[in-house]
Amino acid sequence: MLVSKTDYILYRECPKNTWMKVHQPDIYYAEELSSFEKHIIETGNEVEAEARKIFDDGILIEGRGEEAQKMTEKLLAEKKATLFQPVFIKDGFMAAVDILKYDADTDSYRIYEIKASNEADKNRHYYDLAFQVNLLRRCGLNVAVASIMHLNPEYVRSGALDLNELFKSDDITAEINALQEEVAAEMEQAKAYLAAEAEPAGPCCCIYKGRSNHCTTFSHSNGHVPKYGVHDITRIGLSKKKLKALIDSEVFHLHEVPDDFELSDAQRNQVDAYKMDTVLMHKGQIGEELEKLAYPLYFIDYETFPSAIPLFDGFSPYQQIPFQFSLYTQDAPGGELKHSEFLYEQQADPSGAFAAAMQEMIGPKGSVIVWSKKFECTINKQIAERVPEAKAFLDDVNARVYDLMDAFSKQHYVHKDFKGSTSIKKVLPVMAPELSYKELAIREGGAAASSWIKLVGTALTPPEKEKLKEDMLAYCKMDTWAMVRILQELEKVIK
Ligand code: SF4
């Protein structure tokens, strides 16, 4: 058995989870990766490929096994200047290095770890690099410099990509050297722990953490914990004392939470709605919310793509590219609902066309209804920076934005099936059960975002693009129709 650098980093986060990965992969990998997780992997590969372009003398070593190791040894013996993904295996440890550069003057090496993030993470990235340095030194290499190369959030593209500006290289040799003793000891501990045939005994410490922290094997190790229970109370992961008190009292189900147990309003409402199997409604406050709306109503939803590598002028790493919106317009109470939409289909900055389409479809008066306004308002501000002629219009839209989520986040309407969430994906099935994202080919924002790159790329045939376009339009339309239906249901409540 070999302990890879990925295993080591996972081990540092949770030994037991890593043991499951190594010994019970069927349980560890039981859940398919989400489109968000797949996107993170694709982004990592894309950023690494871009970083390699800085080194024009690099040789890529394919694979991870013995052959790759032998090829690495051969190229090292030939003193090749730069290697991409050289593979090192020694003493039961294995790593493929992102970039290894040989310095003939000092007969030493510089190692680079590429990260698709805007900064280096001292906990994860430093230990990742320290593992590699340890292994390379075990293999007899003189590693003189250790660097993390990550994206530069200050970079704003102007013309051709400037790779030397897009990437920042942090020389952290001193920090990595200082970690060597600790990392060497941990590597041995990880090797011994992961070599054990029997599943590690003892409790799973995530029992004291909120659901979002649980790994895929939590249910396997904690069969007594219900699928929906105290770990799912909203923001309970941030209220460590509360969760600990519940767990230590062996309270796992929501119906067991004592009525006098101290919780925030949102937490108490979630628990009470579940225990009483009822809807908590404050008609007066819902009415006050809806009085803020002015006709005509514009229900709008954006789709954007956060490209790690800035694709167009004026964009920084991970800045959102707004490429699509859907809009329902209603001129008067009970009036007809008109639908319009925008989808940019060229591989260019959509900002100007996006703002122009909005200006054409949104009049000078009335409320602009969104779900979670921070997102749309931020996008509007960023578009205004790139399209100054649309600034006055976009500022005015932001001043007229009404966040329909407020009725729910302010706790005026709480249903047990929201499960403590105010996401439209949780609220819609309760408020308008006839609507469902399940029937759609695209069901969530992450998939919609990455669809645009496929739509404007060259890999799809025209019929495939046409189908993808239909799916993208259907998803965005559903997000706006969902807001229409939720507002209609709130209006029924106050009648
Ligand atoms: S649920 Fe938490 S403690 Fe348990 S195996 Fe997973 S990561 Fe480790």
At residue 256, the pLDDT reads 96
Diameter over CA atoms, the chain: 82
- Distance CA(313)–CA(329), nearest Å, equals 33
Q: How far is CA 303 from CA 44, 357, 422, 466, 472, in A?
A: 22, 14, 19, 18, 9
Helix H or strand E encompassing 399: helix 391-400
Give, using CA atoms, the residue closest to atom 7 of ligand 1.
215
CB contact set of 434 (below 8 Å; sequence gap of 6+):
none
Q: Is the dihedral of CA 337, 446, 157, 119 positive or negative?
A: positive
- Distance CA(296)–CA(299), nearest Å, equals 10
- Annotation: CATH topology of 287-494: Nucleotidyltransferase; domain 5 (3.30.420)
- Distance CA(495)–CA(492), nearest Å, equals 5
Give, using CA atoms, the residue closest to atom 5 of ligand 1.
17
| Phi, psi (rounded to 5 degrees) for 105 | -60, -40
Q: Helices (DSSP H) in 253-362: which residue ranges?
A: 265-276, 283-290, 351-361
Tokens of 331: 């001129």
| Phi, psi (rounded to 5 degrees) for 295 | -80, 155
| Phi, psi (rounded to 5 degrees) for 92 | 90, 10
At residue 117, the pLDDT reads 96
Tokens of 94: 């294995």
- Distance CA(444)–CA(453), nearest Å, equals 16
Q: For residue 475, with 0-12 CB atoms within 10 Å meaning exposed, 13-18 middle and 19 or more buried, which class applies?
A: buried
| Of 7, 204, 222, best ligand 1 pocket probe by most atoms within 8 Å of the beta carbon | 204
Give the count of alpha carbons within 13 A of 18, CB side only. Answer: 22
Query: DSSP per residue over 470-490, as a string?
Result: HHHHHHHHHHHHHHHHHHHHH
Tokens of 320: 């959102």
Query: What is the pLDDT tens value at each position of the chain, 495 positions in all?
Result: 899 999 999 999 999 999 999 999 998 898 888 777 888 899 999 999 999 999 988 999 998 888 999 999 999 999 999 999 999 999 999 999 999 999 999 999 999 999 999 999 999 999 999 999 999 999 999 999 999 999 999 999 999 999 999 999 999 999 999 999 999 999 999 999 999 999 888 668 899 999 999 988 888 888 899 999 999 999 999 989 999 999 999 999 999 999 999 999 999 999 999 999 999 999 999 999 999 999 999 999 999 999 999 999 999 999 999 999 999 999 999 999 999 999 999 999 999 999 999 999 999 999 999 999 999 999 999 999 999 999 999 999 999 999 999 999 999 999 999 999 999 999 999 999 999 888 899 988 888 998 999 999 989 999 999 999 999 999 999 999 999 999 999 999 998
Q: For residue 322, with 0-12 CB atoms within 10 Å meaning exposed, 13-18 middle and 19 or more buried, which class applies?
A: buried
Give, using CA atoms, the residue closest to atom 2 of ligand 1.
206
State whether the beta carbon of 204 lies less than 6 angstroms from ligand 1: yes
> For the chain, how far is it from start to end, CA to CA, in angstroms?
67
Helix H or strand E encompassing 222: none
CB 323 within 8 A of CB 355: no
State whether the beta carbon of 432 lies less than 6 angstroms from ligand 1: no
- Distance CA(40)–CA(4), nearest Å, equals 20
- Distance CA(12)–CA(185), nearest Å, equals 12
Ligand 1 centroid to residue 40 C-alpha, Å:
21
User: For the chain, what are the domain ranges?
Assistant: 3-195, 287-494
Q: In this structure, are strands 87-90 and 93-96 parallel, antiparallel, or unpaired? A: antiparallel
Give, using CA atoms, the residue closest to atom 4 of ligand 1.
204
At residue 382, the pLDDT reads 97
At residue 319, the pLDDT reads 97
297-306, strands of its sheet edge to edge: 337-343, 320-330, 297-306, 367-370, 401-403
Tokens of 366: 């009335």
Ligand 1 centroid to residue 368 C-alpha, Å:
43
- Distance CA(470)–CA(404), nearest Å, equals 26
- Distance CA(380)–CA(394), nearest Å, equals 6
Ligand 1 centroid to residue 219 C-alpha, Å:
9
CB 59 within 8 A of CB 100: no
CB atoms near residue 390 (< 10 Å)? 20
| Of 206, 224, 231, best ligand 1 pocket probe by most atoms within 8 Å of the beta carbon | 206
- Annotation: CATH topology of 3-195: Lambda Exonuclease; Chain A (3.90.320)
CB 35 within 8 A of CB 50: no
State whether the beta carbon of 205 lies less than 6 angstroms from ligand 1: yes
Give, using CA atoms, the residue closest to atom 6 of ligand 1.
215
CB atoms near residue 431 (< 10 Å)? 21
Q: In this structure, are strands 413-414 and 280-281 parallel, antiparallel, or unpaired? A: antiparallel
Ligand 1 atom nearest residue 20's Cα: 5
CA 201 to chain centre: 32
State whether the beta carbon of 206 lies less than 6 angstroms from ligand 1: yes
- Provide the 3-class DSSP secondary structure of residue 83: strand
Tokens of 287: 């009415």
Give the count of alpha carbons within 13 A of 409, CB side only. Answer: 11
At residue 203, the pLDDT reads 66
Tokens of 377: 């308002």
